Amino acid sequence: MFAARAFLTLACIVAPALGATYGLVDNFVGSSFLSGFQHQAIADPTHGRVNYVDQGTALAQNLTYASGDTFIIRADHTTVLSPSGPGRNSVRLMSNKQYTRHVAVFNIRHMPQGCSTWPAVWEVGDNWPNGGEIDILEGVNDVSPNQATLHTGAGCTMPASRAQTGHITGNDCNVYTTNNAGCGVQAPTPPSYGPAFNNAGGGWYAVERTDTFIKVWFFNREVPGTPSDVANGAGSVNTDNWGEPFAYFPNTSCDFPSHFAPMNIVINLTLCGDWAGAVYGADGCPGDCVSYVNNNPSAFNNAYFDFAWVKVYQ
């Protein structure tokens, strides 16, 4: 009887599909971010208190900085804003290339922190949400841990049990039935996000996308055991050696080719907006979000990304 019960329990957990070996196709480091990504000077789709600037403005105001193996993007941290004027200057990058089946590894030393901040590293297809969205790194107001999320149109759900180390926050990926919450998985370790991440010297995020699954890993820089191909940014990677991901999204009840189009990589920092603003007070932040952003430029001294590199494999 016990053996039968154990078999049934294991059978309910969706086992992860095996990965593969991938070769390096794009290596973004230092100034190559400037040619491989475009600065999107657009209105923030998430209604944040930011003003996304073009590349020339970002470089002139030191909101984008590239040198050697350092690439930094940040929010303005010197200007008091007029309540009737535009939001705080910030940066939103989108890769020039689109990717389908691939692995992307992000070597990040520092991520934006502070009340009102909403940093994200993600991938998105055309005609959102029908082309899909994969959030790799995302959170708000310094609240750990990191959350990886899929956002799609109708007809994409995830199984309730699957082989991953993270905590499920939702299994319906349809933005229309979840108020855009999507199907999320929280990483198991607090150092995966915010001040704890920065105090540990950052780490590596990695995503693998195929036609049958999407996986997301996080490797803490202070914890031994990061796969050598990840840590060294090798010319090829073998995801079979990376262990169980913290987020595993199988195609059990989701046809990936019809829900996930070729995708651009996006890196951005917004402030307040639909998520960070909505939970600002509940997260223990002072006053109201927009006023805080307007009146406290020095609060954004640490609101920056520092990338050692981003590598894409196919």
Report field, pTM of the whole predicted structure over 0.85: yes
Residue 250 pLDDT > 80, yes or no?
A: yes
Tell whether 7 is covered by a domain.
Answer: no
Query: Of 133, 208, 222, 244, which residue is the catalytic one?
Result: 133
Q: How confident is the model at residue 156 (pLDDT cuts 50, 70, 90)?
A: very high
What does the pLDDT look like over 76-131, one tens digit per residue? 999 999 999 999 999 999 999 999 999 999 999 999 999 999 999 999 999 999 99
Give domain status of residue 4, yes or no.
Answer: no
Residue 3 domain flag: no
Catalytic residue among 123, 138, 208, 222: 138
Instruction: Name all contacts of 297-300 with Cβ < 8 Å and 24+ positions apart.
Output: 297/76, 297/77, 297/78, 297/79, 297/80, 297/88, 298/77, 299/77, 299/114, 299/115, 299/116, 300/74, 300/75, 300/76, 300/77, 300/88, 300/114, 300/117
Residue 101 lies in a domain: yes
* Residue-number span of the structural domain to which 28 is assigned: 21-313
Alpha-carbon dihedral angle through residues 94, 38, 74, 150, given to the nearest 10 degrees: 0
Q: Is 222 a catalytic residue?
A: no
Q: Is residue 50 part of a domain?
A: yes
Q: What is the average pLDDT across 24-34?
A: 98
Q: Is 244 among the residues known to form the active site?
A: no
Distances (CA, A) of 113 to 95, 144, 198: 23, 11, 9
Q: How many domains does the chain have?
A: 1
For residue 2, tell me if it sits in a domain: no
CATH number at residue 279: 2.60.120.200
Position 13 confidence tier, pLDDT thresholds 50, 70, 90: low
Residue 157 φ then ψ, to 5°: -130, 165
Given a cut of 70, whether residue 152 has pLDDT beyond it is yes
